[in-house]
Structures are given as C-alpha cells and as structure tokens.
Amino acid sequence: MKFLDLAKVYIRSGSGGAGCTSFRREKYIEYGGPDGGDGGSGGDVWAEAVEGLNTLIDFRYQQHFFAKNGTPGMGKQRTGAQGSDIVLRVPAGTEILDEDEETVIADLATPGDRILLAEGGNGGWGNLRFKSSTNQAPRRANPGQPGVERTLWLRLKLIADAGLLGLPNAGKSTFLAATSNARPKIADYPFTTLHPNLGVVGVDDAEFVIADIPGLIEGASEGRGLGDQFLGHVERCAVLLHLVDGTAQDIVADWQTIIDELDAYGGALADKPRVTVLNKVDAMDEEMREALAAELAEVAGPVMCMSGVSGEGVAEVLRALRAQIGDDRVRRKAEEEAELGEAGETGWTP
C-alpha cells in the first residue's frame, strides 16, 4: 500500500428541500386550508478519525464528497426526508486545513474524534407555516437553503512515540529493522527511505512506536530534499532519536545540520527531548570511538554509542528512549505473551 500523507478534497453538504404549496382538498370540507409540508434538511459532511488506517491513499482516487440533498415537502402536511450525511474516515493524527493550506480547521489526533466540516442546508417552509388569522390561504413557500461547498486539505502526521532523525545514511532504517518487524529499504546510497516507516519496538516488557522519516539535508526546512515533507511526522513524538554517522568526515557538522533544520522548521521540534547517538561504532576501534564520542559530547551533551548492525548499545538506547516517554503512551506486553515468549512478534527485545 502506497504511503500518502497529503490529499486535497472537495466537499459539499446537501441542500435543503423546498417547501410545498398545497391545499387540503376533500369532499364535504369547504375550507380545507393550506397543508403544504416543509422540505427536508440537507445532509452534513463529517470527518472522523478511525483505527486501522495509516495513510491517505484512499483520497488519491476519490476527491469529491457530496452529501445528499433533502427532499421537497409534500401535501397533507408531509415533511420531506432529510438528506444522508457523509463521513470522511481518516487516520488518527490527520489535520484538516483550509484551502490556503495554512489555517488548521481541526486536528483529529485520536480515534473517535469527529468534526463537522459542512452543515447541510435547512429545508424550506411549506405554506402551512405562513397561515395566520389575516392570511388563511397563503400561496407561498420557501426554497431550501443551499449546501456549503468547500475545498480542504488533509495532512497526516503519524502517531509515534519516538522519531528518528539524521542525515541520509545515518543508519535510521537499519536501526528500525534491527529493533522491530518493520522492513524499510536499506542500501549504501542516500535517500533509500522515500516515505516514513513505523515500527513497534519492545524493551523491558514495554512497547512503543518509532517513526523513521527520510533523511534530512541542509536546507530541508526550505524545501530541499525530502525532509521538509515529513518533518511534521515527528511533531507528535515524545522524544527524538538523533543518529550521527560515526564514519562521517565531520560528525559535529552533521549534528549541527540537523539541529539547524529543527530550529528553522519551528513547531517546537527543537525543544523536544533528544537522545543523541553516535552510530556505526562497529566500524571503529575503541580509541577512535571514545575520541569521536567526546568530540560530539562537547556540543551535543551526553552521547551514547551504538551499532544497529551488531546490536551493540541498542538496548541502552531503547531504554533511554523509554525513559523519555510517558507511561500513558507506552503499552505493556500482555502477561500471557511474556510467559509464552511471544515478544518477538512485535519487535526486537533485549
């Protein structure tokens, strides 16, 4: 299934049905009077966050959503039927933006969240509504109100507990593949990750979700590369895991590039808790490892060492991430799974 995190939709609520102009016509009843019914209300357009979805790909193939119109009123004081509502089912974490792509109308962060996007038009009054002591035979009725037509943008921000950051080929996909059942593309060239990946990892009988986004480059916040399209996916994370390639020529410059892009992007990303990790330490000896870690720690603060390939230091990194995630976001493994040793089904466990 293709990942899609931005979609444009056109919606229209239903128009109200017209009121009816009618008079009672029965044998032996000389003055039947008006009996025209009201028109039915038009259907509403709703958006609802549901479970089981993690992409907006359905809105690539259907962009137009129109609610049903209300039916006109009829004689014998019969009210027209109300138009059926229509519901746009979106993944949890979807933001609904106005046509300008900047004004946020709603943020459906959790399953079950609903928002009314376009209200249906009211049905018109029939001539029975206009009857009075001075106008006992009104011959007028109101038309129904028109529906509301809007153009909206849907933008998905994945719900993850931890987010992976780093330059291309920093080892993010390798780390995700080593710690979870996710199988992102891994290769020795930049930008092997073209869309975000999610993985569930487990440590110390606790599980949380990690999001791997495409690598950032200098100028990503201004639209260069792929990172600016996906930085929004880590806005909801409780903690960021910043991986620095230990085999790079200048690890401090690489670290600073990512920090500058977080500052430029805004959205409080730069203020989120971060765990800085010197990755690929399996490719260096102990002396070089300590020297590089000390150099990076001078600018980044505490630095952990890890190798996603050999597994060295992975457990410690996962525990550091777990310590920054609130208990309300962490899922505990079921006792029966722990007894049967089924933790490996959800991810890597130290």
- The tens digit of pLDDT for each residue in 269-284 reads 778 888 898 988 888 8
**Does the annotation list 169 as a binding residue?**
yes
Q: Is residue 167 marked as binding?
A: yes
Task: List strand residue ranges (DSSP E) for the chain, in order.
Answer: 6-12, 45-50, 64-66, 86-91, 94-97, 104-108, 114-118, 149-156, 162-165, 197-203, 206-212, 239-245, 274-279, 303-305, 331-332
**86 known member of a binding site:** no
Q: Structure pTM?
A: 0.71
Read off the pLDDT of each residue in 282-311 and give the average, rounded to a whole number: 87
Task: Report pLDDT digits (tens) over 174-192.
Answer: 888 888 765 554 444 444 4
Q: What is the DSSP letter of 103?
A: S
285 compared with 348, residue with greater pLDDT: 285
Structure confidence at residue 338 (pLDDT): 46
Q: Is the pLDDT of residue 336 over 60?
A: no
Interval 223-252: pLDDT, tens: 554 555 567 777 778 888 888 888 888 888
Total length of the chain: 350
Residue 4 CB contacts under 8 Å (≥ 6 apart), including other chains: 55, 56, 57, 59, 60, 156
215 annotated ligand binder: yes
Domains and CATH numbers, the chain: 1-156 (2.70.210.12), 162-345 (3.40.50.300)
The sign of the dihedral angle between the CA atoms of 292, 293, 294, 297 is: positive
* 191 is known to lie in a ligand binding site: yes
Q: Is the pLDDT of residue 46 over 90?
A: yes
Average pLDDT score over residue span 196-223: 70
Average pLDDT over residues 294-300: 89
Structure letter (DSSP) for residue 130: G
Dist CA 107 CA 187 (whole Å): 36
CA distances from 340 to 39, 43, 174, 345, 350 (A): 62, 51, 28, 11, 16
The reply, when asked if residue 278 is annotated as ligand binding, is no
Q: What angle do CA 137, 139, 140 make, to 5 degrees?
A: 130
What per-residue confidence (pLDDT) applies to 154? 93
User: Are 215 and 23 within 8 A, CB to CB?
Assistant: no
Q: Is 212 annotated as a binding residue?
A: yes
pLDDT at 102 over 60: yes
Encoded tokens for 349:
């466990």
pLDDT for the residue numbered 162: 85
The response to whether 14 counts as a known ligand-binding position is no
- Whether the pLDDT of residue 4 is over 80: the answer is no
Q: E strands, 222-308, where?
A: 239-245, 274-279, 303-305
Residue 190 has a pLDDT of 46
φ, ψ (nearest 5 deg) of residue 198:
-115, 140
pLDDT in tens, 54-91: 788 889 889 999 999 999 999 999 999 999 999 999 98
Residue 168 annotated as lining a ligand binding site:
yes
171 is in an annotated binding site: yes
Residue 194 annotated as binding site: yes
- In the numeric block, the tokens 């509301």 are attached to 148
The answer to the question of whether 262 is labelled as a binding residue is: no
